A and B are shown apart, each in its own frame.
Chain A
Amino acid sequence: MNKKMIMAGLAARPVRTTVSILAVALEVTLILVVVGLTSGISYETGKRTEGVGADIMFQPPNSSLILAINNSTMPIALENKIKEVEGVKAVAPVQTLVNSSSGLEIIYGIDPQKFDAVTGGFIWHKGGYFKATDEIVVDDVYALAKKVTVGDQVEVLNHKFKVSGIIEHGKGARLFISQQTAQEMTGMVNRASMFYVKLNDPDQVNTVIGRMEKVFPTYGLRPLREYAKLMMSTSMPALDAFIETVVFVAVCIGVLVIFLSMYTTITERTREIGILRSLGGSKRFIIGLIFQESAVVCLIGIVLGVGSSFLLARLVQFIFPTLIVMITPDWILKASFFALVSGVIGSLYPSMKAAAQDPVEALAYE
């Protein structure tokens, strides 16, 4: 009977019900897409960084784990000092640039010889390395997404480049330009954003890092596998604050909408509540009805929200093919939980108010 009453109540106020469901769906979508996008970019970056094949990532002091927001640089001359550390086989300086005009792309400015020495070289689909400063190497994902091939022109950071080669994806970045070009574009001559370090024995990572720390005490030294693992995990410390903020905002939206919806519901239905009380409906019964109604709204909103998140993820990937939106089962569960929690919090006060109504006054309500 409760089910019938709840469904009839929801159907009797279709606009408010629809708006409430859409708000919960928005809450779920906001959480899933933003978290999915953040995790997707992070995971993808981690995977590609791992694919570089280096053993240590050497960064300037106080630099961020997230390469896209890292502006620190260091003298490129450090390369020779790093090489001197026992156990180091090769060092590749990299200048990173970020292109956010179509998604979020990291561009590596590299010295081909040095980069190959660390990574073991690219797998070429077509063409080869850049020979001129206005040439660029792109990976196969980028080439497919932008429908470009060798010889075509692409515009990156307001610069026109000719595609000189297409490589297999998974080696740090999707776009590679010469170190010289990168330095010219950033205005940071003889500087590098990071060094990839290859060791003679990959199992000696911690030992070599220990040696490096003595020479470069303030620099960021991380085993690449550890870095990749961190980037690919769903709880990345650097992103936690951001994700928590998004979740908080989404839950606030849910709480406010459910509160408003349920508050107006109980105001409109004061007389109905009086009728139920006159029939012997207890306070608990009234609270239960309001909570169940809010739960139905939340459940429909969750289903709609999860569905629209997948649709939106597809849309994002259609517009920005190089972006990855990772909607994972654990985040679907978390987003559903948050939506239900917002439903409970949002309907708490209205349900208490409804139950506390004096039956005589409620019946007299016009």
Chain B
Amino acid sequence: MKNLLETIDLRKTYKIGKIEVEALQGVNLRIREGELVAVMGPSGCGKSTLMHLLGAMARPTAGKVLIDGDDIAGMNDGQLTEVRRNKIGFVFQKFNLLPTLTAGDNIAVARHIHGRGGPAHDQHLEEILQMLMIQDKMGRRPSELSGGEQQRVAIARSVANRPAILLADEPTGSLDTKNSEIVLNMFRELNRRFRQTIILVTHNPELVIYTDRLIEMRDGVIVSDNDPFPEDTESELAQPARSV
């Protein structure tokens, strides 16, 4: 399977006043195409920081983040933006829909930024909307939708451009049990039906049953990873880093 994401001795340090906080202290992982992975750990363990780095939202302090083979460490803002635009889809805990636009327009904005359009993509989008059961909600504003519906619109927006990787940060954090279940099943369905690579970042252990692989973090390092192909990962990680 093709490697989509790879981190090599990834480190991220934040400066808060005069204090330096090491959010990530040497993270090595590899995520392959079509995987549905959960990154779990308590608050402050560095999982959100890891998500921001995997999503090209921030640059590492040290180490490498290879997204589809390209190291983002040396990229400028424009290049990072391009990576996000073309390869990444985000789903957030607070949905993050644009409040002034309808659900349909929220999805259209992502497609507009991406520069996508045309009937082929419309068909793909139709399938997604149908699967997420929100095709009749497109004319509504976020304030007119339930939390579960908003999150499904956010999911539709995140995958409307067929990103290589879908990153979801606590996607059920603002939902009740029933809606959480629906949303998690949607992620699973997206993964199964479209071979969508998905990384779910969560502190909720119940979510793990929906994923194929669990990476546990604590204090900025990975403490366990039930990688189905661990030898492959280790042997490859032992090789010199791929140049970009």
Q: Does B241 contact A (CB under 8 A)?
A: no
Q: Are B109's CB and A279's CB within 8 A?
A: yes
Q: A280-B82, A283-B77 are in contact. Are A5 and B109 (CB under 8 A)?
A: yes
* Assembled-state Cα–Cα distance A80/B97 (Å): 88
Is A241 at the interface (CB under 8 A from chain B)? no
Interface residues on A, range: 20 to 34
Across the interface, name the chain A residue whose C-beta is closest to B141.
A8
A-binding segment of B98-106, B210-218, B227-235: B98-106
Instruction: Name the residue among B90, B100, B113 with the largest chain A CB count within 10 angstroms.
Output: B100
Distance in Å from the Cβ of B39 to the closest Cβ of chain A? 17
Chain B, residues 46-67, CB within 8 Å of chain A (1/0): the string is 0000001001011000000000
Q: Secondary structure of the B side of the interface?
A: helix
- Contacts A11-B100, A12-B99, A283-B81; A276 near B57 (Cβ below 8 A): no
Q: Does A171 contact B (CB under 8 A)?
A: no
Contact yes or no, B77 A12, CB < 8 A = no
Is B57 a contact of A279 with CB atoms below 8 Å? no
Which A residues lie within 8 Å of B114 (CB)? 279-280
Please determine whether B100 and A8 come into contact, CB atoms closer than 8 angstroms. yes
Q: Is the CB of A4 within 8 A of B90?
A: no
When the two chains form their complex, are residues A280 and B86 in contact, meaning their CB atoms are under 8 A apart? yes
Partner of B85, one of A4, A5, A11, A279: A279
Residues of A within 8 A of B58 (CB): 358-360
**A206 CB to nearest B CB, Å:** 67
Contacting B92 at CB < 8 Å: which of A276, A281, A282, A363? A363
The number of A-B residue pairs with CB atoms under 8 Å apart is 72
Task: Give the nearest-CB partner of B52 in chain A.
Answer: A360
Q: Which residue of A lies closest to B114 (CB)?
A: A280
CA distance A272 to B99 in the complex (A): 8
B133: shortest Cβ distance to chain A, in Å?
A: 23
- The answer to whether residues A359 and B109 also contact, given A279-B85, A280-B114 and a CB cut-off of 8 A, is no
A337 near B: Cβ within 8 Å? no
- Distance between Cα atoms of A358 and B55 in the complex (Å): 14
Using Cβ atoms and an 8 Å threshold, which residues of chain A touch B207? none
Given A4-B101, A8-B101, A360-B52, also A277-B81 (CB < 8 A): yes
Check if A275 is an interface residue, CB within 8 A of chain B: yes
Q: How far is the CA of A2 from the CA of B57 in the complex (A)?
A: 23
One digit per residue, 1 when the CB lies within 8 angstroms of any chain B CB and 0 when it does not, for chain A 279-301 equals 11111010000000000000000
In this complex, which of B78, B92, B96, B97 has the most chain A Cβ atoms within 10 angstroms of its Cβ?
Answer: B96
Rounded to whole Å, the gap between the CB of B154 and the closest CB of chain A is 10
Contact A363 B96, beta carbon cutoff 8 Å: yes
Asked if A271 is an interface residue, CB under 8 A from chain B, the answer is yes
* B134 beta carbon closer than 8 Å to chain A: no
Identify A279's interface contact among B77, B78, B105, B110, CB under 8 A: B110
Chain A residue, CB-CB nearest to B51: A360
In the assembled complex, which residues on chain A have CB atoms less than 8 Å from the CB atom of B78? 282-283
Give min CB distance, B200 to chain A, whole Å: 17
Query: Which residues in A have their C-beta under 8 angstroms from that of B110?
Result: 279-280
Nearest Cβ distance between residue A364 and chain B, in whole angstroms? Answer: 9
A272 touches B98 (CB 8 A): yes
Interfacial chain B residues near A69, Cβ < 8 Å: none
CA distance A8 to B99 in the complex (A): 9
Asked whether, in the complex, the Cβ of A279 is within 8 Å of the Cβ of B92, the reply is no
Contacts of A279 in B (CB 8 A): 84-85, 90, 109-110, 113-114, 157
- In the assembled complex, the Cα of A4 lies from the Cα of B110 at a distance in Å of 13
B113 near A4: Cβ-Cβ < 8 Å? no
Q: Does A103 contact B (CB under 8 A)?
A: no
Contact present for B100 and A12 (CB under 8 Å): yes
Partner of A278, one of B82, B84, B100: B84
Query: Given the known A-B contacts A276-B113, A280-B86, are A360 and B57 also in contact in the complex, defined by CB atoms under 8 Å?
Result: yes
A278 to B114 Cα, complex, angstroms: 12
Q: In whole angstroms, what is the CA distance A276 to B106 when docked?
A: 10
Distance in angstroms between the alpha carbons of A363 and B51 in the assembled complex: 13
Residues of B within 8 A of A360 (CB): 52, 57-58
Report how far A359 CA is from B52 CA in the complex, Å: 9
Q: How far is the CA of A296 from the CA of B68 in the complex (A)?
A: 41
Interface string of A347-366 (1 = CB under 8 A from B): 00000000000111001000
Least CB distance, B174 to chain A, in whole angstroms: 14
Q: Give the A-binding residues of B (Cβ under 8 A).
A: 52, 55, 57-58, 77-78, 81-82, 84-86, 88, 90, 92, 96-101, 105, 108-110, 112-114, 157
25 A-B pairs within 8 Å (CB atoms) are namely: A2-B112, A4-B101, A4-B105, A5-B98, A5-B100, A5-B105, A8-B100, A8-B105, A9-B100, A12-B99, A272-B98, A275-B98, A276-B98, A276-B113, A278-B84, A279-B85, A279-B109, A280-B82, A280-B84, A280-B85, A280-B113, A280-B114, A282-B78, A360-B52, A360-B58
List of 4 A-B pairs having minimum Cβ-Cβ separation, nearest first: A280-B85, A1-B112, A8-B100, A12-B100
